[in-house]
C-alpha cells in the first residue's frame, strides 16, 4: 500500500537551481533562463567618456568608512571580504558606509572581478573592485573601481597585506582551499578609505547586480580613473579566478551622470 499521507504535511523539496557560472554550466548568456531579471537592462555597462558631463558638486558620494577586520573567503566565483568583528566573527556595519542623496548605506562586502566588468570606451581594465552596501530599507548600491596594473599601494594588495602573516606566503592558495573546506581567513584591520580615493569622480547610473539573480534598482558609482593593482596580485587573483565577468549590457535610455567622492562632514 502506498503511503497516503497528505503531501501538505511534508513540504515539497525546493527545486534545485542550476549552479550559475561564467565558463561552464549556466553561463551568462543563459542566466535569464533561470533568473528572469537577467533580461532587464542591467549592469555592467560600457561608459563612453566623451558623453560625460561635469560633476554635480551639490550631490557627492560622502564616505564615512571605518577601519575593521575583514573575513576573506573564496566564493568559488570571486575573492570576497566581509566586515568582521574584533573576534573575527561577523561584524555587520563595522566598516562604515557612505551617503548618497540623504540615503545612508552600510558596507556589506567587497569583491573582485578580472578583467573589469565596466568598460570605458570599449576597453576593460585588468580588474575591478566592487564595494557593495545596503540601506536600512534594503536598497543596494555599489561603488566600483577599475584596477590598473601599477605601483602600490594597491586595492587588492591592501586586502592581502591585512591577511595575518602566518597565512602567507600563499594567501590566494589558502583562500582557494576555502572552496572545498568552507574556510576563510580573517584580516587585521583594514580601512577602506585606503582603497577608495576621495576627490575623484564616479559615474552614477541605475543598474543591477552583475551576478544572478541580477536584481535591479542598484545605484552604481563607478570611478572614472582606476586605482592600482600590482602585477603579482593580479596574477595571483587570475590564477584562481579569471573571466568572472558579465558582458556589458545595453544602456538604452539610462542616464550616466558624474559625482565626486568626498569625505562626509565630521
Ligand atoms: Zn561584482
pLDDT in tens, 47-79: 999 999 999 999 999 999 999 998 887 787 888
Gyration radius of the chain's alpha carbons: 20
Rounded to the nearest angstrom, the distance between the alpha carbon of 127 and the centre of ligand 1 is: 11
Residue 82 CB-density burial (10 A; 0-12 exposed, 13-18 middle, 19+ buried): buried
CB 149 within 8 A of CB 128: no
- What is the per-residue pLDDT for 109? 95
Q: What is the mean pLDDT of the chain?
A: 86
CATH superfamily of 40-247+254-263: Alpha carbonic anhydrase (3.10.200.10)
Rounded to the nearest angstrom, the distance between the alpha carbon of 147 and the centre of ligand 1 is: 13
Rounded to the nearest angstrom, the distance between the alpha carbon of 243 and the centre of ligand 1 is: 12
Which parts of the chain register pLDDT below 70?
1-15, 153, 160-183
Domain ranges of the chain: 40-247+254-263
- What is the per-residue pLDDT for 164? 60
CB 208 within 8 A of CB 40: yes
Strands 216-223, 227-229: pairing kind: unpaired
Neighbours of ion ligand 1 (CB under 5 A): 130
The H or E element spanning position 181 is helix 171-181
* Maximum distance among all Cα pairs of the chain, rounded to whole angstroms: 76
Rounded to the nearest angstrom, the distance between the alpha carbon of 6 and the centre of ligand 1 is: 44
- What is the per-residue pLDDT for 172? 55
Q: What tens digit of pLDDT does each residue of 189-215 get?
A: 888 988 899 999 999 999 999 999 999
Rounded to the nearest angstrom, the distance between the alpha carbon of 113 and the centre of ligand 1 is: 6
56: cell is 554635480
CA dihedral 42, 255, 228, 162 (to 10 degrees): -60
CB 140 within 8 A of CB 133: yes
Neighbours of 19 (CB within 10 A): 11
Amino acid at each position: 500500500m502506498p503511503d497516503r499521507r497528505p503531501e501538505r504535511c511534508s513540504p515539497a523539496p525546493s527545486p534545485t537551481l542550476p549552479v550559475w557560472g561564467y565558463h561552464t554550466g549556466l553561463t551568462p548568456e543563459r542566466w535569464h533562463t533561470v533568473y528572469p531579471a537577467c533580461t532587464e537592462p542591467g549592469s555592467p555597462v560600457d561608459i563612453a567618456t566623451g558623453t560625460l558631463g561635469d560633476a554635480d558638486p551639490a550631490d557627492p558620494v560622502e564616505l564615512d568608512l571605518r577601519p575593521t577586520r575583514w573575513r576573506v573567503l573564496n566564493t568559488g566565483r570571486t575573492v570576497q571580504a566581509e566586515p568582521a568583528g574584533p573576534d573575527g566573527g561577523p561584524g555587520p556595519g563595522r566598516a562604515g558606509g557612505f551617503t548618497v542623496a540623504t540615503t545612508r548605506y552600510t558596507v556589506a562586502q567587497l569583491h573582485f572581478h578580472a578583467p573589469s566588468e565596466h568598460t570605458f570606451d570599449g576597453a576593460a581594465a585588468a580588474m575591478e573592485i566592487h564595494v557593495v552596501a545596503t540601506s536600512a530599507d534594503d536598497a543596494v548600491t555599489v561603488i566600483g573601481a577599475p584596477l590598473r596594473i601599477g605601483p602600490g599601494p594597491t586595492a587588492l594588495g591592501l586586502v592581502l597585506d591585512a591577511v595575518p602573516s602566518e597565512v602567507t606566503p600563499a594567501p590566494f592558495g589558502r583562500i582557494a582551499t576555502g572552496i572545498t573546506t568552507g574556510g576563510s581567513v580573517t584580516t587585521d584591520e583594514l580601512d577602506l578609505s585606503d582603497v577608495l580615493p576621495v576627490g575623484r569622480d564616479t559615474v552614477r547610473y541605475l543598474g543591477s547586480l552583475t551576478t544572478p539573480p541580477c536584481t535591479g534598482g542598484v545605484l552604481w558609482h563607478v570611478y572614472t580613473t582606476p586605482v592600482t593593482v600590482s602585477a603579482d596580485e593580479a596574477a595571483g587573483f587570475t590564477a584562481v579566478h579569471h573571466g568572472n565577468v558579465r558582458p556589458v549590457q545595453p544602456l538604452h535610455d539610462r542616464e550616466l551622470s558624474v559625482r565626486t567622492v568626498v569625505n562626509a562632514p565630521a
